[in-house]
Structure 1
Amino acid sequence: MIEIRMPRLSDTMEEGTITSWAAEVGSQVTAGQVLLEVETDKAVMEQEAFESGTLTHVLVPAGGTARIGEVIAVLDGPEVLDRQEQPAGATGPTTAATHLAPAPAPGPGPAPTEPRTSSSTTATPASPLVRRLAREHGVDLTHVTGTGPGGRVVRRDLESHLSRAAEAGAQTHPDRTGPATHPAPADRHTADQGAGHLGTAGSGTTDLRGPVEHPVAPARRVTAERLTASTSTVPQFSVTATADVTELVRLRTRLCDGLRDGDRATVSLNDLVVRASALALRAHPEVNASYVDRPGGPVLQLHARVNVGVAVATEHGLVVPVVHDADRLAVSGVHETVASLAAAAHERRLSVEQMQGGTFTVSNLGMLGVEHFRAIVNPPEAAILAVGAVRREAAVLDGEVTVRDAMTLTVSVDHRAVDGAGAARFLQTLVRLLEHPWAVVA
């Protein structure tokens, strides 16, 4: 018997949700074959089978969640699988599927029936919150179309289903006191508004003004935990400077014109900032560092590689894929890597390697019009750069007032690893590179 366990697919992963199985019970599985897709706190990843065999039992169905190391399926198992022991933290679908036995052979006469609502609600991929609400409202989840990962039913799907049901019920049962054929005001309001706040069962009205609760996505939950730990345990401070990026903007325009003529992808200001940051980190290795607690005492790790994480906001939450060896890439190489990582982040297809090994992070909100902000250090990294928008402002140049392009840069650092002078010197080098951009593309 071969046990398949929930793998650790990221350094921050504690549990995973199975979005789909690529094999059915009874099918033959070969080593290296994609067996399932797992939703982690950062992405949806494919998981291959490490051994060959017949898939005899699935202990965690699609939509179920299991902690790292928990058994989720069995290859070449016995016909009857009795698993009394469960790891700490086992939840929901795994508990319901721990005692498996083959179905009895069909005999003469009609097959026994089971209550459709309870069994189908459990089998349909849905979060525990949605299952509870479905039970409270007497909804069979097999009749609800899921729009979540792998067809999972999320709360908005259930709310839309209830709204449609309320509208249909109002049209089917007109007011007995008159010949009206339109919905009652409350029902019409529900139909017009679409998915809204779930009303109290049996109240006859739906209050759309109350708060709507949504389960916290895994990526946002892990982000919250890590940033709470960062602000609670890491002493942080920030230094800010403004760079005159007039020449940088002009250089980018010339680069993009030349790249378009060669039918090549253009570069962004963010690509140039990432490249400049990598060069500044190479010049100031004390910022490209990590403060690490060891059993024998804390150590300061100075990283030999410059791996720059780029914060990407997706509809699933904030993720930070990593541009490895960014100091060794040309600007065009940085652009291609960042574009590929951003696309994979939005599609939830980032690999483990693409999310690990960061030594510094760049967070850019300039494209959203933000001129200045302070980012929170992402441990074990010692520093993070917050990049503001390019803005036009008056400046004195050679004794004359002129209009220049300016960009505000803020570096937040772990004070245990970097002191104020070190952060200031790094920022000074970065500003100089951005103000003399040919050094960035050379």
Structure 2
Amino acid sequence: MATEILMPALSPTMEEGTLAKWLVKEGDTVSSGDLLAEIETDKATMEFEAVDEGVVGKILVAEGTEGVKVNSPIAVLLEEGEDASAVDDVSTSPKADASSQAAPSEPSEATEPAKGYGRDGGAAASPAPSKPKSGDRIFATPLARRIAKDKGLDLGAVKGSGPRGRIVKADVENAQPGAAKPAAPQADAPKGETAGQKPSMPAGMSSDQVIKMFEGREFEEVKLDGMRKTVAARLTEAKQTIPHFYLRRDIQLDALLKFRGQLNKQLEAKGVKLSVNDFIIKASALALQEVPDANAVWAGDRMLRLKPSDVAVAVAIEGGLFTPVLKDAHLKSLSALSAEMKDLASRARDRKLAPHEYQGGSFAISNLGMFGIDNFDAVINPPHGSILAVGAGVKKPIIGKDGEITAATIMSVTLSVDHRVIDGALGADFLKAIASNLENPMMMLA
């Protein structure tokens, strides 16, 4: 039977994408794992792999098409021996029962990439299957049926990872006889909301209203790409739904700058040069371990408290930004963090990061000090519990311990905090731990 190939969700937040390039043409034979197309998500271009074998019967979406919704058909795959007439049968045949055939029109925010799509296994996750009623059709490839028969598997208890829940070879090879994966229970919707709906947000001025306001003035309309749309949506959501509060502190950097100079001199032969930002990453990662209650994220109706220190760092690129995540940062040396950060930042600017490299973490760092900014307030990136805004280190007069006026290099930082996750005193303890690590840098090596 002909099968529709659907637009995959290559990241948990992807709702639509651009079909940048087809890597196959109509009539080509493909096998599981073959590359079908290149798809632009909101932040990267990723390769889309086949999860089934067959012949490309018809391409439904031309390459270069923008705004293709997740789970909408983009091509039709024919089984061996089928002719082109089967392509029309797909669009005209009635839909099967929702338990085995329906696909969601939009991915939920909890969607996880399914194995088999994308360079790192990103695809739209299929709903957990319910066992078909008697007489319901089970959609599976001929090869999957043969393997299931040999293994004595009940196909009704197997979750399909193919298009529209179709059972493919890999599904039956990994399944155990009699094993059925139960459907995840659906959480109750908050009071006053219908399940599956988000609370309504106040809308700003429409584009027509804004354009009318500037009639008679010369302007240029700038088209929004996927990244700018995503940044706009997420930051609007963050400011409207996250109760931010801000903690500010000055940190003396003289001891750190002296220590950094000594280390860089010793590491010069190895080609390693540590930046102040590397120390800030390490100091923050250790602070998350010292104040573990601050190492948390908001998860809708609960908090998740993380064990490792996974630190995200904002990287500015043309047209937007990435926040690559340094996982287990508390366990890595300064030189290892420096090398990893350079690699992630370089690939972020080339838009070569995979989703798992810029998603996750409980905390982020945004450093505008290198641009001469003394201080600023950063917006929390959901679901993080906090973000540290870092300003420039500037020579300032201070009152020394002996009461005399002296000069010191002062860096102003602001910790933006989600009050649902971190209270004031806890946030103060966390920021104090970061400052203490930076003002006593040798302690970070202990």
When normalised by structure 1's length, the TM-score is 0.68
Residue 30 of structure 1 is matched in structure 2 by 31
SS in 2 for 1:373: coil
1:232 alignment partner AA: Q
Does 2:295 match 1:288? yes
Does 2:224 match 1:233? no
The partner residue of 2:309 within 306, 312, 326 is 306
2:269 alignment partner AA: D
Greater alpha carbon shift after TM alignment, 227-236 vs 240-249: 227-236
Residue 133 of structure 1 is matched in structure 2 by none
Rg comparison, structure with higher value: 1
The partner residue of 1:345 within 337, 345, 348 is 348
Distance 2:217 2:27 in 1: 49
Distance 2:53 2:3 in 1: 9
Greater alpha carbon shift after TM alignment, 338-347 vs 419-428: 338-347
The partner residue of 2:421 within 417, 421, 428 is 417
* 1:57-68 equivalence runs, <5 A: 57-64=58-65, 65-68=67-70
SS in 2 for 1:390: strand
Does 2:335 match 1:327? no
SS in 2 for 1:286: helix
Residue 164 of structure 1 is matched in structure 2 by none
- The answer on whether the counterparts of 1:11 and 1:356 sit within 8 Å (CA) in structure 2 is no
Distance 1:429 1:414 in 2: 18
- The answer on whether the counterparts of 1:17 and 1:40 sit within 8 Å (CA) in structure 2 is yes
Distance 1:307 1:62 in 2: 37
**Is there any run of 5+ residues in structure 2 with no aligned partner, and where?**
96-102, 107-215
Cα displacement string for residues 212-245 of structure 1 (whole angstroms, at most 9, x for unaligned residues): 1121121111111111111111111000001001
Residue 72 of structure 2 is matched in structure 1 by 70
1:354 alignment partner AA: E
- The answer on whether the counterparts of 1:31 and 1:48 sit within 8 Å (CA) in structure 2 is yes
Residue 384 of structure 1 is matched in structure 2 by 387
| Alpha-carbon offset, residue 209 of structure 1 | 7.1
2:235 alignment partner AA: L
- The answer on whether the counterparts of 1:70 and 1:87 sit within 8 Å (CA) in structure 2 is no
Residue 274 of structure 2 is matched in structure 1 by 267
Distance 2:441 2:264 in 1: 14
SS in 2 for 1:339: helix
Residues 1:380 and 1:88: Cα distance change in structure 2 (over 3 Å): closer
Cα displacement string for residues 106-160 of structure 1 (whole angstroms, at most 9, x for unaligned residues): xxxxxxxxxxxxxxxxxxxxxxxxxxxxxxxxxxxxxxxxxxxxxxxxxxxxxxx
| Alpha-carbon offset, residue 258 of structure 1 | 1.9
* 1:217-256 equivalence runs, <5 A: 217-256=225-264
| Alpha-carbon offset, residue 87 of structure 1 | 8.5
Greater alpha carbon shift after TM alignment, 266-275 vs 25-34: 25-34
Residues 1:281 and 1:395: Cα distance change in structure 2 (over 3 Å): same
1:244 alignment partner AA: Q
Distance 1:22 1:252 in 2: 49
Residue 372 of structure 1 is matched in structure 2 by 375
| Alpha-carbon offset, residue 88 of structure 1 | 6.0
- The answer on whether the counterparts of 2:313 and 2:365 sit within 8 Å (CA) in structure 1 is yes
Residue 442 of structure 2 is matched in structure 1 by 438
Distance 1:34 1:326 in 2: 34
Does 2:89 match 1:79? no
Distance 1:412 1:226 in 2: 16
- The answer on whether the counterparts of 1:41 and 1:222 sit within 8 Å (CA) in structure 2 is yes
1:227 alignment partner AA: L
When normalised by structure 2's length, the TM-score is 0.68
- The answer on whether the counterparts of 1:219 and 1:319 sit within 8 Å (CA) in structure 2 is no
Distance 1:54 1:258 in 2: 60
* 1:1-150 equivalence runs, <5 A: 1-64=2-65, 65-76=67-78, 78-80=83-85, 81-82=87-88, 83=91
Distance 1:22 1:403 in 2: 62
- Percent of counterpart pairs with the same letter? 38
**Is there any run of 5+ residues in structure 1 with no aligned partner, and where?**
90-207
| Alpha-carbon offset, residue 12 of structure 1 | 1.7
Does 2:285 match 1:278? yes
Residue 191 of structure 1 is matched in structure 2 by none
- The answer on whether the counterparts of 2:6 and 2:74 sit within 8 Å (CA) in structure 1 is yes
SS in 1 for 2:292: coil
Distance 1:341 1:242 in 2: 29
SS in 2 for 1:353: helix
Distance 2:348 2:57 in 1: 34
- The answer on whether the counterparts of 2:324 and 2:357 sit within 8 Å (CA) in structure 1 is yes
Distance 1:335 1:225 in 2: 31
Distance 1:348 1:387 in 2: 24
Cα displacement string for residues 140-192 of structure 1 (whole angstroms, at most 9, x for unaligned residues): xxxxxxxxxxxxxxxxxxxxxxxxxxxxxxxxxxxxxxxxxxxxxxxxxxxxx
1:224 alignment partner AA: A
Distance 1:411 1:87 in 2: 38
Residue 131 of structure 1 is matched in structure 2 by none
Distance 1:267 1:29 in 2: 48
- The answer on whether the counterparts of 2:71 and 2:105 sit within 8 Å (CA) in structure 1 is no
SS in 2 for 1:389: strand
SS in 2 for 1:276: helix
Cα displacement string for residues 80-119 of structure 1 (whole angstroms, at most 9, x for unaligned residues): 4333699969xxxxxxxxxxxxxxxxxxxxxxxxxxxxxx
- Matched positions, count: 320
Distance 2:10 2:435 in 1: 37
Aligned residues: CA RMSD: 2.2
Cα displacement string for residues 409-438 of structure 1 (whole angstroms, at most 9, x for unaligned residues): 110111111111111111111111000011
Distance 2:433 2:274 in 1: 22
